[in-house]
Amino acid sequence: MNQDQLKQQVGNKAVDLIHDQMIVGLGTGSTVKYLVEALGEKIKHENLTITGVVTSKATAALAQKCGISLKTVDQVDHIDLTIDGADEISSDYQGIKGGGAALLFEKIVATNSQKNIWIVDQSKLVDKLGKFPLPVEVIPYGSQKIFERFVKEDYQPTFRLTSTGQKKKTDSGNYIIDLHLQQIKHPHQLALKLKRQVGVVEQGLFLDLVNMIIVGTVDGPKIIQ
Ligand code: 5RP
């Protein structure tokens, strides 16, 4: 099975956790794409009433195409569960997210959800976080100064670029600085330090947030909770 098939496997499996009348946070990325498509089919076949709360413009467009009703996080009084992908998950179930530049809305939706489920193929499981570059979302004004501070800290920063070499803008119009840290020894300390920088909007460490992980493997989906 290739990586894409494993993503499809967990996307399809996660749909079993969604039931009639639920309000569901929908993450962003190539794994979540399979979930959203499968959810659209389930709603049609079982005639369900589901409300989706999306984490990006890309997921909003796909969910609408699949016939899923949407509300914003501010229009709902709760979110029953959120299902999202992840870029890295450590052996103590902490995560890096934001490879798709949607970390800010993903964290807002996740922290307003009663339950968080990550769906990943097995390549995302690591011992310690940090091989995957840690995304930091910063407002454009003063972002060069933050970048220079990150250089001094030896965080090996790079601005995330588009295919045409422009600085990538998030759905909120911010920039992403990726930190090439190789290994994050103290994720909680680093998260606090990054958040304290004026101009940093959010960072991609998702700590103490996940309740269940569904991992795609060649032997079928494996559930960790
Ligand atoms: C987007 C994310 C994604 O969940 C993460 O990048 C995983 O994506 P994929 O399922 O495409 O591997 O955090 O900001």
212-223 pLDDT, tens digit each: 999 999 999 999
Q: Whose CA is nearest to atom 1 of ligand 1?
A: 100
Confidence of residue 148 (pLDDT cuts 50, 70, 90): very high
The answer to whether 213 touches 120, Cβ cutoff 8 Å, is yes
In angstroms, rounded to a whole number, what is the distance separating the alpha carbons of residues 54 and 59?
6
Catalytic residues: 106
- Residues contacting residue 107 through CB under 8 Å, at least 6 positions apart: 97, 202, 206
Nearest to 42 by CA among 12, 70, 72: 12
Average pLDDT over residues 187-213: 98
Give the ipTM: 0.98
170 is in an annotated binding site: no
Q: Where are the alpha helices (DSSP H) in 29-95?
A: 30-46, 57-65
What per-residue confidence (pLDDT) applies to 55? Answer: 98
30 is in an annotated binding site: yes
The answer to whether 204 touches 109, Cβ cutoff 8 Å, is no
151-168 pLDDT, tens digit each: 999 999 999 999 999 999
In angstroms, rounded to a whole number, what is the distance separating the alpha carbons of residues 193 and 179?
13
Helix axes 30-46, 3-14, angle to 10 degrees: 40
- Residues contacting residue 129 through CB under 8 Å, at least 6 positions apart: 88, 90, 94, 95, 96, 183, 184, 187, 205
89-111 pLDDT, tens digit each: 999 999 999 999 999 999 999 99
Strands 116-121 and 81-84: parallel
125-134 pLDDT, tens digit each: 999 999 999 9
CA 125, chain centre distance (Å)? 15
Ligand 1 pocket by C-beta < 6 Å: which residues?
27-31, 84-87, 97-103, 106
Per the rule left: phi > 0, alpha: psi between -120 and 50, beta: everything else, 157 is: beta
Q: For the chain, what is the mean pLDDT?
A: 97
Average pLDDT over residues 201-219: 97
64-90 pLDDT, tens digit each: 999 999 999 999 999 999 999 999 999
Q: Which strand ranges, in their side-by-side order, compose the sheet holding 205-206? A: 88-89, 95-96, 205-206
99 is in an annotated binding site: yes
Confidence of residue 1 (pLDDT cuts 50, 70, 90): confident
Give the nearest ligand 1 atom to 29 CA.
Answer: 11
Give the nearest ligand 1 atom to 85 CA.
Answer: 4
